[in-house]
Amino acid sequence: MFSRRRFLIAGSLAIPGALAFGSTPVAAEPRRPADPEVAAWLDWIAANRDSVSIVATDGGRGRIRHLEQRPRVLASAVKIIHLAAYATAVARGRLDPAEPIRLGDWDARHPYVSDGRAHYSAYNALGIPCNEYGIADDPDRTVPLDTLAAAMIDFSDNAATDYLRDRLGDPALHRAAAAGGWHRPDTRSLQGEVLQLILPERAAPHGAPAALRRAIGDHLARRFIHDLEFRKEVWDRIPEMPATTEEQWPWTQGHAKGTAAELAGLHHAVAAGTFRPRSAQPVIRGHLERGLASLLPEGAAGLGFKGGSLPKTVNLGLNVRWQDGRTGVLALMLTNLSEDQVGTGGPALIRLGIGALRDPDQFTALTQAL
C-alpha cells in the first residue's frame, strides 16, 4: 500500500536529542579533531571550498569570512527572522503569547508532507493526538500562540512558521531582519514552496524570478487554507510528486536565498544585545537558546541555534553569549552534499560549530580548512 511518508525528503535540520563534548585544552599547534565525524566534515570543507559560505567569530580575535556574500538557499535557517518578528510583536503588545490558537488553523498551513515530519513531531511532543501526517484529531483544540513559536524553533515546524508570517506580515519580518543588518530578506511561504513541488503544472517555471515564485506560492497557500476541495486535490497528487534528491534539486534551487553575512548579522545582534527593541531579546533568546542548553560551553551565558536543510543543502546558525561580554557567531552554509550528509550530518556539524566557538585550536582547524 502506498505510504506518503516516503516523500518526507525536503526536511529541516532540527536540534539533535543528544550531543556530547569533552574538555579540549588549547594546544600549541592546531591538531586534527579527535571526533572522526567532525574531522570528516573539515576534510569535506577543505575539498569543497566553493560549496561553502561562512562567517565566524569566536568572540576574541578569531575571524573567518569565506564567500560570505554569495547567495545560497536558506532552508529553515531563515526562521530566526520569524522568531525575531514574533518577539518584537510580543514585546510591543501586538501579540499575546498566551492567545489560544486552534489546531485546525495551525494544520491549515501544513500540506501533509515534505517537512521531515516536523509538524507530526511537534504534536507528538505536546501529547496532541493526530494522524501519521500530523493532522490533529481535534481541530478545535487550542494551544498558546507561544507554542507555535517553540515548535518553529525546536522542531523546525514549517506550518508554525507560515502561521506566524500570516499573522505578522512580511513588512514586520523585514523590519526585524533589518535590526540585524539583513535588508529585505525573502520570507516567502514555505507551504507555498511545497505546494509547487506537489503541483508542478501550477508552479513558477524553473528559473523564474523570485517575486513570481513567491506570488504563486502565496496564492496556492491561500487556496489550501480556505478551500477544502483544493486540499483534497493536493492529497491525491502527493503520490506523483518528485521523491528523490535529484528530482527535487531543481525545485530546491528556486528556494529563498540569503548570505552567510546576513545570517550572521542577525545572530550577532541577538547575542550581542544590539537587537531592538531591547524588550524582545528575552523572548528571542528564550526560544533560540533552549535546544542546546545542555551543551552550553563553560563560561557561556547562552547558546543560540537554528539550522536548516533541503536536498543537497545544510545550514547552521549559532551564537554564543560569553559571561565576560564577548559574543561568538557562526553562520555556515553548505551545498552539493550527498543525501547521507544531509540526513545524518547535522549533529556532527553542530559539534564542529560549538567546538570552533569555544576552543581557539578548533577555530584554527576550521580556518585552515578554508
3-state secondary structure 197-238: HHCHHHCCCCCCCHHHHHHHHHHHHHHHHHCHHHHHHHHHHH
Backbone angles phi, psi at 202, to 5 degrees: -105, 0
- Say yes or no to pLDDT of 7 above 70: no
pLDDT of residue 9: 43
Q: Which residues, in sequence order, are CB contacts of 358 under 8 Å at separation 6+? A: 24, 58, 297, 298, 300, 320, 328
The β-bridge partners of 66 are 54
pLDDT of residue 32: 76
Question: DSSP string spanning 69-118?
Answer: TS-EE-GGGGHHHHHHHHHHHHHTTSS-TT-EEEHHHHHTT--SSSSTTH
pLDDT of residue 233: 98
> Using CA atoms, how far apart are residues 243 and 2, in angstroms rounded to an integer?
13
Rounded to whole angstroms, what are the CA distances from 4 to 87, 119, 161, 175, 345?
A: 35, 15, 22, 38, 24
> Using CA atoms, how far apart are residues 319 and 33, in angstroms rounded to an integer?
21
Cis peptide before 277 (omega within 30 of 0): yes
The mean pLDDT value of the chain amounts to: 92
Lowest mean pLDDT among 4-13, 28-37, 247-256: 4-13
> Using CA atoms, how far apart are residues 221 and 242, in angstroms rounded to an integer?
19
Rounded to whole angstroms, what are the CA distances from 26 to 29, 112, 154, 361?
A: 8, 48, 32, 6
pLDDT of residue 60: 85
Mean pLDDT confidence for 104-123: 97
Instruction: Write the DSSP symbol of residue 241.
Output: S
CB 145 within 8 A of CB 183: no
All three cell numbers of 257, joined, read: 536565498
- Say yes or no to pLDDT of 74 above 70: yes
Q: For the whole model, what pTM was predicted?
A: 0.93
Residue 363 burial (10 A CB sphere; 0-12, 13-18, 19+): buried
Mean pLDDT confidence for 118-146: 98
> Using CA atoms, how far apart are residues 138 and 129, in angstroms rounded to an integer?
8
Grouping H, G, I as helix, E, B as strand and the rest as coil, residue 53 is strand
Grouping H, G, I as helix, E, B as strand and the rest as coil, residue 304 is strand
* Helices marked H in the chain: 36-47, 79-91, 103-107, 118-126, 145-154, 158-168, 170-178, 190-198, 210-226, 228-237, 245-253, 260-272, 281-288, 339-344, 346-358, 360-369
pLDDT of residue 18: 36
Q: Vertex 340, ends 334 and 344: CA angle to 5°? A: 80
- Say yes or no to pLDDT of 1 above 80: no
For the stretch 220-253, pLDDT in tens is: 999 999 999 999 999 999 999 999 999 999 999 9
> Using CA atoms, how far apart are residues 316 and 263, in angstroms rounded to an integer?
9
pLDDT of residue 8: 35
All three cell numbers of 106, joined, read: 495551525
Of 30 and 131, more confident:
131
The β-bridge partners of 309 are 314
Backbone angles phi, psi at 320, to 5 degrees: -130, 130
Mean pLDDT confidence for 29-37: 78
Q: Using the structure block, give the residue that is written with the C-alpha cell 578548533.
A: 362
